[in-house]
Amino acid sequence: MNKYLILANNDKDIDLELSKKTLEYINSRGAKAAIVSDVINDYDGTFIKEEFMDDAKAVIVIGGDGTMLRAAAGIGSYNVPLLGVNLGTVGFLTEVEVSNLYDAIDRLMAKDYQLEKRMMIEGSFNDKCFAALNDVVITRAGFSRIIGLNIYVNNELLDTYEADGVIVATPTGSTGYNLSAGGPIISPKSKAIVVTPISPHSLTSKSIVFDSEDEIKIEIVKKRKTQETEAIVSFDGGNNTGLSAGDIINVKKSSKEIELVKLYDLNFYRVLRDKIGG
């Protein structure tokens, strides 16, 4: 029997109303489903249990792009594709709208879809390592001061930023915080890494796009004698960790990829125009 995991953001799906309807519909079609909710603050994937993932055909994510990011982190080593149902706003990662949910489930169960692979990056520091589908972000830890950041590429010093922080993004993440900070949009099928400074205190500090095989190293430079925690690093908006002067974050392409279920022939550039074209 086919089995599906429904991953719900219970802040957006009030009383899990849509998730329950989805479960009932899947069951009525002769398959099996389980709901996991209350994952809005879980960036470590502890909501994913082995019994849920065993033989699962797909994870149906009901929420927004943020919920999709947590699902991507949560499925870990499980090779299970994600189908996003949009209850958020922009929804670059969530292809399905509520209005065509049942049609999408029918196509999912009939295997009438394609899979689109998205690259991930991973950041390691102080014996910790986290993967990210969107971005690794380093920002200042307090108000009204900048941080110093030495940026190395393949162990070669590229530049020193004095800025509010820096974003290291995937092509998928290029339409997120990276775009808001003035970074370029990159096709999600590309293999690349983009580094974008946040509010740099220099007219010459710009975004740079690197090959996906390049390794980025970011060193925190001390700016205040009395300040111990200079910055905070986060991965897809979670796993926030304080950093001190001298700390180094190594970012590179992850060996893990995420597969997204693509049901409809939606061109990325059309979606881009519709979502943020103005």
Residue 65 appears among annotated catalytic residues? yes
Strand 147-153 and strand 216-221: the pairing is: antiparallel
Distances (CA, A) of 82 to 127, 179, 207: 29, 24, 30
* Cβ neighbours for 277, distance < 8 A, ≥ 6 positions apart: none
Which of these is catalytic: 13, 65, 236, 247? 65
Q: By C-alpha distance, which of 247, 268, 254, 10 is closest to 123? A: 254
Distances (CA, A) of 199 to 134, 155, 170, 226: 20, 25, 20, 23
User: What's the half-sphere exposure (Cβ side, CA atoms, 13 Å) at 212?
Assistant: 18
- 44 and 50 in contact (C-beta within 8 Å)? no
Rounded to 5 degrees, φ, ψ at 101 are -60, -50
Quick one: tokens of 143?
């108000």
Q: Which residues are catalytic?
A: 65
